[in-house]
Structure formats: structure tokens, C-alpha cells
């Protein structure tokens, strides 16, 4: 995101919030791995910049790289732990696999796994870069939803606001090509970031930045 022109990626608040949610597990060492394309457990070649380590293993086979997590996790009652890939941080030739663990009762550790998508392709992980993100998630939370599909006209106010927004977005994008118009100076519409509706109203509970507590050692 830092490398995008004028850091344009940071104008997408949903992406910024997704990057800030949860706690990252960091890679302990620099290393390179290559998958030979086979299904067996011994199907990778590892190269470490320092000494050999047991953090990364070929455990499951089928092009899966396994990171051992050296923590026993515990969440409050009724909360699972979602172990997911780092948000918006793609790696060429390999993709994160995700799991949800009932860490409010389980006495077991778990692993973070990545699936190679390309054989004979060197993948480097650098010390200190995220290899997983941990996100507490209420168990059964989604079971309480009743998803439906309705025409937007079923909610006239929302439909009207949506059409107003569509017209404003179309005009703004067209005006970006006209040097004398304000859109050129504004560069992008900030209504969502500023939590502003089409009638300039604002809404409670809007998040533009997260600041999660860091883990601390406790005896």
C-alpha cells in the first residue's frame, strides 16, 4: 500500500480497517521454501539465512507449508479464534489457509498453514513479516442471521440514497478528467471515510482507525 502512487490504497477505509483488525504472528527467521510439486510430506526444500529451525516443517504434504505456533491460546467463554492469513498481503506462489479453533476449551496448540500454488517457485518469508492474523470471533454468531435478497425499491429511502450516491460518483469520476473542476483538487470522495451520508448526516459508531491493545506478559 505504501508503494502505490500517492499512497492511493490508503483512501480505501475498509481495506485500512481490515489491515488493523486482529493480532499478527510474525515470522521468526528469514527462509526460502520450494515445492517440488509432489504430494508427499518430504516435498519441499528449505534454505535459511541463519541456522536450521523447526518452526517451518513439511507436515501434511500436498504442497502445504506448516508453521508451528509456540503459544497455547485461550479465549473467553464462547469465543473461537480465527487463524487467518494477513489481510491484503499477497505472496506469489503460495496462499494462506485459514482455520477457526475453539480456544475457550481446547488444551491443544494449532498450526498456521500455507498452500503452494506453484511448483519449483522459490518463496521467501522475511523475519518479522506477518505469517498469520489471530481474530477472536463469537461462536454461533452467524447462526443468528437470516440472510435475504430483496429489491432495493423495497426500502424507498435507501434506494433513493443509493441512486443519489451513484449519480454523484459518476459525476465525480467524469469531473476528474476536467482540470478546472473541484474533483481534480479533491482527488477522491471522502464521504465514507468521514461517515457522511448523501444528506450530509453522520452516524454514530463509525471507525476510521483501530488501536488494539498489545499483548503483555503476565505471571
* Domains in the chain: boundaries: 23-139, 153-212
Residue 112 CB burial class (10 angstroms; 0-12, 13-18, ≥19) = buried
CATH number of 23-139: 2.70.40.10
pLDDT along the chain (219 residues), means of 10: 86 93 92 84 55 57 88 96 95 95 96 92 91 97 96 95 91 76 71 88 92 89
Q: What are phi and psi of 178, to 5 degrees?
A: -110, 115
| Dihedral (CA of 67, 15, 122, 40) sign | positive
Distances (CA, A) of 152 to 4, 148, 202: 35, 12, 22
The model's pLDDT over 17-66, given as tens digits with 9 standing for 90+, comes to 999 999 999 998 888 888 888 887 644 555 555 555 544 556 788 889 99
Question: Where would I find the beta strands (DSSP E) of 58-105?
Answer: 64-68, 79-84, 94-97, 99-101
pLDDT at 177: 77
Amino acid at each position: 500500500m505504501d508503494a502505490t502512487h500517492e499512497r492511493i490504497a490508503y483512501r480505501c477505509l475498509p481495506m485500512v480497517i481490515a489491515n488493523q483488525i486482529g493480532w499478527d504472528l510474525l515470522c521468526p527467521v528469514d527462509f526460502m521454501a520450494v515445492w517440488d510439486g509432489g504430494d508427499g510430506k518430504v516435498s519441499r526444500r528449505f534454505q535459511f539465512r541463519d541456522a536450521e529451525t523447526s518452526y517451518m516443517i513439511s507436515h501434511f504434504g500436498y504442497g502445504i507449508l506448516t508453521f508451528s505456533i509456540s503459544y497455547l491460546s485461550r479465549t473467553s467463554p464462547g469465543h473461537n479464534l480465527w487463524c487467518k492469513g494477513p489481510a491484503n498481503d499477497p505472496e506469489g506462489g503460495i496462499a494462506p489457509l485459514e482455520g477457526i479453533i475453539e480456544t475457550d476449551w481446547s488444551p491443544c496448540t494449532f498450526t498456521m498453514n500455507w498452500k503452494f500454488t506453484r511448483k519449483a517457485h522459490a518463496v521467501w518469508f522475511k523475519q518479522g513479516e506477518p505469517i498469520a492474523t489471530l481474530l477472536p470471533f463469537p461462536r454461533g454468531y452467524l447462526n443468528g442471521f437470516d440472510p435475504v435478497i430483496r429489491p432495493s425499491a423495497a426500502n424507498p429511502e435507501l434506494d433513493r440514497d443509493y441512486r443519489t450516491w451513484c449519480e454523484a460518483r459518476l459525476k465525480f469520476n467524469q469531473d476528474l478528467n476536467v482540470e478546472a473542476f473541484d474533483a481534480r483538487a479533491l482527488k477522491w470522495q471522502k464521504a465514507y471515510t468521514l461517515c457522511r451520508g448523501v444528506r450530509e448526516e453522520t452516524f454514530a459508531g463509525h471507525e476510521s482507525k483501530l488501536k488494539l491493545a498489545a499483548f503483555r506478559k503476565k505471571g
